[in-house]
């Protein structure tokens, strides 16, 4: 099925919000992300999905919304999938605690 940009943005927002709910519910901290393999697996799935949806947004939509770093988002998915063993979990923790909350705010502005 081919999704519209609006549908993809809503999917990205949903995955991001679910990720943050999981982090809160399970008291995930930066240190836990760096050390706990089960948590690493749990948080990478929504990050994959966010990156996949971002990758398939139309170039026109991405160009109209350059405030969001679409290539970084889809690039993270690529790195997690293709170089999982080389994952920098400190960087991922920063993404979860800094970038995802900021992304949620940006996406909410887009879906207004």
pLDDT digits (tens, 9 = 90+) for 14-32: 999 999 999 999 999 999 9
2 vs 58 pLDDT, higher one: 58
pTM of the model: 0.92
Closest CA to 109 of 2, 9, 4, 8: 9
Q: Where are the domains of the chain?
A: 5-110
78 in catalytic set: no
Active site residue 77: yes
pLDDT, tens only, 84-102: 788 999 999 999 999 999 9
Taking each helix axis as running N to C, give the angle between helix 5-25 and helix 37-55, from 0 to 180 degrees, rounded to the nearest 10.
170
Please identify which of the residues 26, 30, 78, 82 carries the catalytic annotation.
Answer: 82
């Amino acid at each position: 099925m081919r999704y519209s940009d609006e549908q993809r943005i809503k999917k990205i927002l949903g995955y991001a919000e679910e990720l943050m709910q999981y982090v809160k519910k399970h008291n995930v901290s930066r240190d836990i992300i760096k050390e706990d393999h089960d948590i690493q697996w749990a948080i990478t799935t929504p990050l994959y999905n966010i990156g996949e949806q971002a990758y398939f947004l139309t170039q026109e939509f991405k160009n109209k919304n350059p405030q969001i770093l679409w290539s970084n988002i889809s690039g993270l998915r690529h790195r997690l999938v293709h170089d999982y063993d080389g994952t920098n979990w400190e960087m991922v923790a920063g993404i979860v605690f800094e970038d995802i909350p900021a992304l949620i705010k940006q996406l909410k502005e887009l879906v207004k």
